[in-house]
Amino acid sequence: MLGEPLKIRARKFDGRCARHKRYNPAVDGLGGVIGACPRCTLLFEIWTASLELNKLIRRFDPNHDDLKKPVAPVAAVAVDPRQMMLIVE
């Protein structure tokens, strides 16, 4: 088991309040919770906990960057021999 990475964030969560479908905790914040809705409040707490988890992971390993996507190598462009006769030196 030595050397295997610890997998913590393996779950994708796409939650919405059934009554307030337009509530977005990242944009609206806690002040955007309408009428002290318990589901919107819970959604805000989940979002805050995910931010705290990201902060703790980066504090544990400052070089960890889960936002970078691997860059795919660009295929070499082959020269078309039909166009070479158009180039005059």
Is the residue at 43 inside a domain?
yes
Is the residue at 61 inside a domain?
yes
pLDDT of residue 1: 45
Is the residue at 81 inside a domain?
no
Work out the angle at residue 45's Cα, subtended by the Cα atoms of residues 44 and 48, and round it to the nearest 5 degrees. Answer: 85
Is the residue at 80 inside a domain?
no
Is the residue at 8 inside a domain?
no
Of the two residues 75 and 62, the one the predictor is more confident about is: 62
Q: How many domains does the chain have?
A: 1
Length of the chain equals 89
Measured distance CA(62)–CA(28) in Å, rounded:
29
Per-residue pLDDT, averaged over 60-81, amounts to 70
Q: Which of 7-11, 33-37, 61-65 has the lowest mean pLDDT?
A: 7-11
Q: What residues make up the domain containing 61? A: 25-65
Per-residue pLDDT, averaged over 4-28, amounts to 81
Is the residue at 82 inside a domain?
no
Per-residue pLDDT, averaged over 53-66, amounts to 81
